[in-house]
Amino acid sequence: MTKRFQLLQRRFGNARPGLQLVAVEDAAIPVSVLRADVLAQERKELPITDEFTLLFVEHGVESPEEIAAFLGLDSAHVLEAAAAQLGENSLRRRSDGKSLTLTPIGTEVVRNAATIRPTFRNLPVKFDRVVWQPTDYSENSLIPKKVVDDLGHIRLPAERKARIGLGDVTAPTLNALLRSGNLQSLQVLQIHKVSTKKNLYLPVQLLVYADQIRGEIELAVCIDDQISDAHGDALDRTEVVKHLRMSIGEPTPRPTLDADLEEQREGAKPAHVPGDVLDPALSEDLASTSQVRSVSVFEHPDLLAEALDTTTKRLLIISPWIRRAVVNTDFLAKIEGRLRRGVALTIAHGYGGDDSGSDTDALRKLQNLASRYSSKFNFVRLKNTHAKILIFDDHWVSTSFNWLSFRGDPDRTYRMEEGTLVSIPARTDKQYDRYLEMIDEQQI
């Protein structure tokens, strides 16, 4: 399985000199779908008979009958073509009423082998409200606000709150988009009206870079596996770091393991080295380097995704808080998919006297799922847990990473959380039994 977060870290980890990539967030850019009423000129390829009729007239063969004889066609076909070009004002009759001659428009048509005519069109236009300009995004890639929120994506703010008007959509900009798309034959001359049909969002990745000593944070936007400098500059102008209440904090100390496991961890080959070049097409398991090894902050989301996608026997998650940004529609669907395949699932949470650190709707959805799969899903509120544990099949991850709340906190404080992955079945079995016993003792 491709490790999405790790691949982004490998590709863009050093994209901001002097800063460290500390997080990759799923985000969404606000995009308005507009209708632009325009006056344009459209270039259409000529039918072959029309083209040859104009060419013969240019070379002095001016009678439809003569042209038909040269072409070996029935004269009715040439007369039809000539009539069409008379209607387009590419041809006119000479004073004798029989011969044809080119008009200035016809001369230009022969030069281009196409007709050019004015036309009124209604053009669909996608408008990126972060960089405040029209774009060529495919409408199929855009999603509604409700889906954005269900997926837990960060909604990036628009550069302005103003209504999009004629001053924001210009003919040169539209023509540049038309040349890169499938309407290359059209050239916009004037825009008469712009109206908004609907507002959607484009899913992107938000890369968070930081200097922990100076407390400095910079953002980058990754669209279609490429960093967009224009969006990064726009986020700087609108002070999105402040708007999203982002900060950098000291990492929580990593939980230590038994001495023998710590010794194996110290001797393990790291799963990746920052700055390494990785072929994006590579899809092998990047984590399979040792039975006991360190886990970087970028591997945690990938390990959670792997657990949700591949677990066949058991899945245990302990996390103090639960946020809707993690426990979203996709998470719930995958959890239910594991339950239908007979996986034994335990999720334990709880910190302090209440659930103020968790999202009520996320807790409710998990509780509803647990009620439907009561024989397989044990959803437990603990008195007070500091543990942050993931166990899936024969893999055990002990860490300072908040598995079910690493996204969605209104105050986004980023830390380089670190953990340990143990893939020794006997040790994983022991820890699994131990945590189930702890959960049984501490549940409310």
pLDDT averages per 10-residue partition of the chain, 444 residues:
70 87 90 92 77 87 89 88 88 88 85 70 92 93 92 91 91 86 75 93 94 87 93 93 87 84 74 39 42 86 92 96 91 95 96 86 95 95 89 95 84 82 94 94 86
SS3 state at 318: strand
Question: Comparing C-alpha atoms, which of 174, 192, 178, 181 is closest to residue 39?
Answer: 192
Q: How far apart are CA 22 and CA 208, in angstroms?
A: 6
Question: How many Cβ atoms sit within 10 Å of the Cβ of residue 430?
Answer: 12
pLDDT at site 268:
65
| CA torsion through residues 371, 377, 378, 381, sign | negative
User: Which tens digits make up the pLDDT trace of 116-144?
Assistant: 667 788 889 999 999 999 999 999 999 99
pLDDT at site 18:
87
Q: How far apart are CA 386 and CA 73, in angstroms?
A: 89
The average confidence (pLDDT) of the chain is 86
Q: How far apart are CA 395 and CA 303, in angstroms?
A: 10
Question: Comparing C-alpha atoms, which of 128, 119, 126, 57 is closest to residue 93?
Answer: 57
pLDDT at site 116:
65
Q: Going from the N-terminus, what domains does the chain have, and what CATH number goes with each?
A: 4-38+120-245 (no CATH), 47-112 (1.10.10.10), 249-442 (3.30.870.10)
- The DSSP symbol for 271 reads S
User: Which tens digits make up the pLDDT trace of 240-277?
Assistant: 999 888 888 877 788 888 888 888 887 765 444 333 33
DSSP string, 139-152: GGG-B-HHHHHHHT
User: Which tens digits make up the pLDDT trace of 403-418?
Assistant: 999 887 777 788 778 8
* 6-23: burial string, b at 16+ Cβ within 10 Å, e else: bbbbbbbbeebeebbbbb
Partnered with residue 263 across adjacent β-strands are none
User: Which tens digits make up the pLDDT trace of 178-187?
Assistant: 877 666 667 8
Contacts of 129 (CB under 8 A, 6+ apart): 29, 30, 31, 32, 158, 159, 160, 164
Contacts of 379 (CB under 8 A, 6+ apart): 346, 347, 366, 367, 369, 370
Give the helix/strand (H/E) hosting 390. strand 389-392
pLDDT at site 113:
63
pLDDT at site 275:
38
Question: How many Cβ atoms sit within 10 Å of the Cβ of residue 76?
Answer: 10
SS3 state at 157: coil
pTM for the whole thing? Answer: 0.70
Question: Comparing C-alpha atoms, which of 160, 161, 162, 157 is closest to residue 240?
Answer: 157
Residue ranges in 72-164 assigned as alpha helix (H):
75-87, 104-112, 145-151
Q: CA 29, 141, 30: angle at the middle one, nearest 5?
A: 20
| CA torsion through residues 185, 190, 196, 201, sign | positive
Q: CA–CA distance from 183 to each of 38, 89, 366, 432, 437 (Å)?
A: 14, 24, 49, 60, 66
* 357-387: burial string, b at 16+ Cβ within 10 Å, e else: bbbeebbebbeebbeebeebbbbbebeebeb
